[in-house]
């Protein structure tokens, strides 16, 4: 077949046979193909993915190439650029219109590693090319500043359009704000519910977040006023539940999960992360000791029909990295890989949620 006769329409027709594996629609219908250019013996185009670290990237690339070779010309050279445009769960709204997805990170109990998981997921999403922010709303012990080596930093306030706006701290390319920045570490303020709600409101309405793909909210353990305030203040894309494998932790995690599933709250649960899933000495990664029990997170995910986004081992370097103020995912090795994999799965769930479920609305207070 001579390539002179090839038209853009032929390429479009061929690509309309390629399905996005998660979203189960073809790439043309999903508007994922841009900038088709035909040259001599060559076609170039861009595939716009819905997550930067799309785990299916290479599969999509191959299927596009195969479709063009099958339906258009077997000898055509196919050059594909991959970019990403993270989809949004928002309907617009006045608060943070440029933040596409707000993700609540919750746990049933304290100390299960919710902040560690938040910090590492945020960093892994950033590494994949996304714009990421964190709100540390865990008044029971705001640890995000320490985990990012930012405990001595203070957010600045500056005037924007005649309004005083908090400028989030920027550390390792992630914008963050914490209840911890508002209270000195050595003189913690005992947060009362209304004060904490007021602080959270300020983090949404008076903070200059700019454009973000993902804003992660590190919530206090259990269910609290903060949880309720969050879903009333902003439309939450979905929630991630962090748990450890013990029975007691799992029963609390279930309560945390059910909070988001209440009909009047109606925030999708994007998945479960089992932290401290097993102990492994870093030099012997194949030796796994299930000291807190096995498969608790997996069984929870199955029972409540949600995804298991990861099983994170207990590794000394995860704790050290947290204390040193550089999330473990910033090092190379198995631990980084495990966190990156969880972040990919999370981004994938966000994309599926945005393609298949209704936009989120804020929860209305009923009086
Ligand atoms: P939470 O936010 O649920 O209260 P943290 O994230 O603050 O819990 O974690 C509590 C402690 O456990 C921290 O010292 C942290 O470094 C450590 N930790 C958390 N997850 C792991 C892990 N997978 N391996 C080793 N230490 C961990």
Atom of ligand 1 at shortest range from CA of 323: 16
Q: Is the CB of 112 under 6 A from ligand 1?
A: yes
Atom of ligand 1 at shortest range from CA of 111: 4
Query: DSSP secondary structure string, 117-134?
Result: HHHHHHHHHHHTT--EEE
> According to the model, what pLDDT value does residue 1 have?
46
Q: Could you tell me the residue range of the domain that residue 347 belongs to?
A: 99-356
> According to the model, what pLDDT value does residue 220 have?
94
278 & 255 share domain = yes
123 & 165 share domain = yes
79 & 124 share domain = no
> According to the model, what pLDDT value does residue 91 have?
77
Atom of ligand 1 at shortest range from CA of 147: 16
Look at residues 84, 114, 140 and tell me which one is the last residue of a structural domain.
84
Asked whether the beta carbons of 311 and 341 are under 8 A apart, the reply is no
Phi and psi angles of residue 319, each rounded to the nearest 5 degrees, phi first:
-65, -45
249 & 159 share domain = yes
Atom of ligand 1 at shortest range from CA of 312: 23
In a domain, 364, yes or no: no
Q: Is the CB of 293 under 6 A from ligand 1?
A: no
Q: Is the CB of 114 under 6 A from ligand 1?
A: yes
Q: Is the CB of 276 under 6 A from ligand 1?
A: yes
Atom of ligand 1 at shortest range from CA of 112: 3
In a domain, 3, yes or no: no
Residue nearest to atom 8 of ligand 1 (CA): 113
72 & 107 share domain = no
In a domain, 1, yes or no: no
In a domain, 361, yes or no: no
Q: Which two tokens stand for residue 328?
A: 């473990």
Q: How far is CA 211 from the centre of its chain?
A: 15
Q: Is the CB of 127 under 6 A from ligand 1?
A: no
141 & 70 share domain = no
Look at residues 53, 84, 115 and tell me which one is the last residue of a structural domain.
84
> According to the model, what pLDDT value does residue 254 have?
94
300 & 267 share domain = yes
Q: Is the CB of 115 under 6 A from ligand 1?
A: yes
204 & 341 share domain = yes
CATH number for the domain that contains residue 76: 3.30.300.130
In a domain, 31, yes or no: yes
Q: Is the CB of 319 under 6 A from ligand 1?
A: yes
d(CA 243, CA 247): 10
In a domain, 273, yes or no: yes
* pLDDT-flagged residues of the chain (< 50): 1-3, 367
56 & 116 share domain = no
In a domain, 366, yes or no: no
Q: Which two tokens stand for residue 136?
A: 């540390």
Look at residues 56, 84, 112 and tell me which one is the last residue of a structural domain.
84
Of 234, 245, 241, the closest CA to residue 259 belongs to 241
Q: Is the CB of 131 under 6 A from ligand 1?
A: no
67 & 144 share domain = no
Phi and psi angles of residue 177, each rounded to the nearest 5 degrees, phi first:
-140, 150
Q: Is the CB of 147 under 6 A from ligand 1?
A: no
What tens digit of pLDDT does each residue of 181-199 get?
Answer: 876 656 656 667 788 888 9
215 & 309 share domain = yes
79 & 117 share domain = no
pTM: 0.91
Q: Is the CB of 306 under 6 A from ligand 1?
A: no
Tell which one of 106, 116, 218 to mutate to probe ligand 1, the residue whose CB is within 8 A of the most ligand atoms. 116
Task: Report the domain count for the chain.
Answer: 2
Residue nearest to atom 17 of ligand 1 (CA): 319
CA 78, 128, 234, 351 dihedral sign is positive
CATH number for the domain that contains residue 282: 3.40.50.300
Characterize the bridge pairing of strands 42-49 and 99-107: unpaired
């Amino acid at each position: 077949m001579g390539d002179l006769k090839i038209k853009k329409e032929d390429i479009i027709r061929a690509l309309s046979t390629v399905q996005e594996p998660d979203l189960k629609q073809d790439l043309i219908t999903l508007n994922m193909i841009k900038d088709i250019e035909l040259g001599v013996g060559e076609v170039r185009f861009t595939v716009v993915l819905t997550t930067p670290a799309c785990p299916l990237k290479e599969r999509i690339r191959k299927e596009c190439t195969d479709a063009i070779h099958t339906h258009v010309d077997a000898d055509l050279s196919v050059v594909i650029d991959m970019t990403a445009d993270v989809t949004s769960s928002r309907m617009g709204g006045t608060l943070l219109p440029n933040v596409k997805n707000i993700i609540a990170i919750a746990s049933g109990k304290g100390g299960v590693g919710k902040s560690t998981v938040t910090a590492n997921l945020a960093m892994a999403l950033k590494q994949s090319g996304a714009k990421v922010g964190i709100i540390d709303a865990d008044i029971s012990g705001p640890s995000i500043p320490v985990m990012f080596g930012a405990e001595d930093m203070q957010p600045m306030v500056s005037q924007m359009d005649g309004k005083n706006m908090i400028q989030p701290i920027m550390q390792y390319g992630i914008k963050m704000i914490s209840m911890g920045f508002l209270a000195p570490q050595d003189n913690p303020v005992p947060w009362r519910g209304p004060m904490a709600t007021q602080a959270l409101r300020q983090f949404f309405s008076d903070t200059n977040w700019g454009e973000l793909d993902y804003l992660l909210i590190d919530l206090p353990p259990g269910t609290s006023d903060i949880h309720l305030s969050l879903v009333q203040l902003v439309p939450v894309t979905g929630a991630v539940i962090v748990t450890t494998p013990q029975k007691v932790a799992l029963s609390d995690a279930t309560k945390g999960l059910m909070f988001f599933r209440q009909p009047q709250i109606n925030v999708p649960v994007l998945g479960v992360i089992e932290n401290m899933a097993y102990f492994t000495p870093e030099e012997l990664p194949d030796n796994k000791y299930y000291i807190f029990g096995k498969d608790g997170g997996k069984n929870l995910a199955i029972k409540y029909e949600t995804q298991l986004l990861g099983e994170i081992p207990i590794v000394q370097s995860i704790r050290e990295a947290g204390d040193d103020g550089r999330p473990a995912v910033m090092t190379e090795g198995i631990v980084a890989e495990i966190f990156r994999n969880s972040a990919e799965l999370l981004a994938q769930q966000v994309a599926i949620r945005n393609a298949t479920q209704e936009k989120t609305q804020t929860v209305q207070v009923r009086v």
